[in-house]
């Protein structure tokens, strides 16, 4: 089931998402619906371990090629398939750029198995049922503002 079509998170937005989540070197980030790996690349650059899952095998191939080119592939694990095939208990930070409905679907599925101290960061869309910690409007360009929402896993 498709939770969202592909659209890339621009690098400055990905950076700000990871700043808000306070992603530390050595932590594990999981990007659900990782597309071509924009958020994974930023996480790996910061010394984190990154896991990406996407139902599109084509996008996962593109992500793999890009991460290899950037010499970041060793820090990243990629899975082609539905997000339900991932075990999220390792994640310190989970990133989402889906839709409100997609986020809700994912959160309902993950909420029992994610760590209580896991931080969730969403680009543009709310996560119903999770506890909002911080929300900001990020000016990507003067004509393009993005919402970044930081949540705690525990309600």
Ligand X SMILES: C[S@@+](CC[C@H](N)C(=O)[O-])C[C@H]1O[C@@H](n2cnc3c(N)ncnc32)[C@H](O)[C@@H]1O
Contacts with ligand X by CB under 6 A lie at: 1-4, 6-9, 31, 33-35, 38-39, 53-56, 59, 82-83, 97-98, 123
Of the pair 31, 116, the CB lying nearest ligand X is at: 31
Cα 51 to Cα 22, 77, 128, distances in angstroms: 17, 5, 23
Name the CA radius of gyration of the chain, rounded: 14
Residue whose CB is less far from ligand X, 9 or 92: 9
Give the neighbor-by-neighbor strand order of the sheet with 49-54: 76-80, 49-54, 28-32, 93-96, 119-123, 144-152, 131-141
Nearer to ligand X, 57 or 89 (CB): 57
Shortest distance in whole angstroms from residue 21 CB to ligand X: 14
Residue with smallest beta-carbon separation from ligand X: 33
């Amino acid at each position: 089931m498709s939770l969202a079509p592909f659209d890339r998170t621009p690098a400055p937005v990905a950076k700000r998402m990871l700043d808000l989540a306070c992603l530390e070197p050595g932590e594990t980030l999981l990007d659900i619906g990782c597309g071509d790996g924009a958020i994974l690349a930023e996480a790996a650059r910061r010394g984190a371990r990154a896991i990406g899952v996407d139902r599109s095998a084509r996008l996962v191939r593109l992500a793999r090629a890009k991460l290899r080119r950037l010499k970041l592939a060793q820090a990243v694990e990629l899975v082609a398939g539905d997000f339900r095939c991932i075990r999220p208990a390792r994640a310190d930070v989970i990133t989402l750029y889906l839709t409100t409905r997609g986020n809700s679907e994912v959160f309902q599925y993950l909420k029992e198995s994610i760590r209580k101290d896991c931080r969730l960061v969403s680009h543009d869309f709310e996560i119903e049922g999770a506890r909002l910690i911080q929300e900001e409007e990020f000016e990507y360009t003067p004509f393009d503002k993005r919402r970044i929402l930081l949540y705690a896993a525990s309600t």
